Amino acid sequence: MQQENQEKFIKLRNQFPTFTYNHYQFQIIENKIDMQFDFCLGDETHFQPKMSLSLGRHAVKEMKKEDIEGLIFHIGMIELISYWKVSCAPIVHIRPRTLTTAQQQWWKKLYWKGLGEFFYQNSITTSMDEFLQFHFDAGVPSTNNFHYQKITDTQSTIVPIGGGKDSVVTLEHLRKKQKIIPFIINPRGATLACARIAGFPEKDDIVILQREISPVLLSLNQQGYLNGHTPFSAMLAFYTLLVSYATNTRNIALSNESSANEPTIPGTDINHQYSKSLEFEEDFRQYVHDYMNDCSHYFSYLRPYRELDIAQFFSQYPDYFPVFKSCNVGSKSDIWCCHCPKCLFAYIILSPFIDDTTLISIFGEDLLDKASLEEYFDELSGIAENKPFECVGTIDEVNKALGMIAERKKEKYLIKHWLVAKKIR
């Protein structure tokens, strides 16, 4: 299989040597910004995803197109990665603007590290020097021509809401200190419910991005083109800059914790959540400082905390227990699937702080007594070689939580398994 995937990678790169970022367009209609991008694979396959940012009551009185054009261009730069990956074309042709050599290196690093899981899962062997090069049209303006208005209002904070425990903790901590502008991408039950409990009951209270995936991409995925994980949080970062300008709000508070820095594959820098790491956060701030007039301040409020700390904080907000969801598998149905490593991790990390009866009511069953989850249990606790490719805590944090649980739940199936495995090791 590894040889087959490598051959597919080489074949697609030969078949489609160039991926083109043709253009972007946008319009401002009252409190909404509509965007469309045009990407091209070869000469015939066009991707034209559309996005719409609704600002609700948070829109500033006047938005100027010249002040957001650079932000839109950069959103295209991060959106294109979802489409480029179907063939991994060796040349990415950027037609609207040129990038300096330093900017090109910045983007190559983001693409390379942000696609670490993609390359690993697809058994692709390449290098950072070889996997892509940027080309530009002669005579087009550079990104230095964009105008970025520096935002100075620090009395409010933008908080993206993902529907899980992390953004709840950030919301609850910060709303006691500042005005909050909640931001949701493609709202679903959990995200809207968490916003409502935090004091934002109406959609007009929330900045909402409706983000569309091109149906052409979905068709190519079904046909067997290359597919896999892309750096979603990096995409979120660039959209938050647009929200920052459109709402005149300088501070952007993410909810990425310290465990996001741990590689998924031991002995490598392959990280499922690279764009949630401190390394990316610092790189992104530097990029905004150097090339975007330091227009906004992007940071993670939870960076100093461990998953155990955050779970303990979250346990103090029972109003959210019935509605929060962290399961990617069940996100479309707004459920905990109870069959994936993300569900098991959430159950483990919350168990030291929330009683059994309440946890079972949240998840629908006792995940510590579910033998079918043993494989994920081994991965989370470090018994297996690799961690799951999910946004989960560190192995040390999981084992700390398991040790706390074992003191009072030694009869549970997975706890007994863990205790035996730890003695063997």
Token pair of 244, please?
Answer: 């920052």
337 half-sphere exposure, CB direction, 13 A CA radius:
15
Neighbours of 210 (CB within 10 A): 15
Q: What is the DSSP letter of 206?
A: S
What does the pLDDT look like over 278-331, one tens digit per residue?
999 999 999 999 999 999 999 999 999 999 999 999 999 999 999 999 998 888
Task: Give the start-to-end residue ranges of the domains of the chain.
Answer: 2-149+206-300, 325-424
* Plot region of 415 (φ>0 → left; ψ -120 to 50 → alpha; else → beta): alpha
Average pLDDT estimate for 265-277: 73
Token pair of 183, please?
Answer: 């931001």
Task: Give the list of residues 6+ apart from residue 183 with CB closer than 8 angstroms, or none.
Answer: 158, 159, 160, 161, 206, 207, 208, 209, 239, 240, 243
Q: Which helix (H) or strand (E) holds 182?
A: strand 179-185
The band of 30, judged by pLDDT with boundaries at 50, 70 and 90, is confident
b/e 70-86 (16+ beta carbons within 10 angstroms → b): bbbbbbbbbbbbbbbbb
pTM score, two decimals?
0.94
Average pLDDT estimate for 185-192: 95
β-strands 251-254, 156-160: how paired? parallel
Window from 217-221, 267-271, 408-412 with minimum mean pLDDT: 267-271
- Would you state the pLDDT for residue 264? 65
Q: Which helix (H) or strand (E) holds 78?
A: helix 65-79
